[in-house]
Amino acid sequence: MTKWEYSTIPLLTHATKAILDQWGADGWELVQVIPGPTGSENLVAYLKRPIEEASAVQN
List, in order of start, the domains of the chain with CATH numbers: 4-58 (3.30.70)
pLDDT in tens, 32-56: 999 988 777 789 999 999 998 765 5
pTM: predicted TM-score of the whole model, two decimal places: 0.77
Closest CA to 45 of 18, 15, 10: 10
Distance separating alpha carbons of residues 34 and 55, to the nearest angstrom: 29
Burial of 47 (0-12, 13-18, 19+ CB in 10 A): buried
* 56 vs 31, more confident: 31
Cα-Cα-Cα-Cα dihedral of 30, 35, 16, 31, to 10°? 0
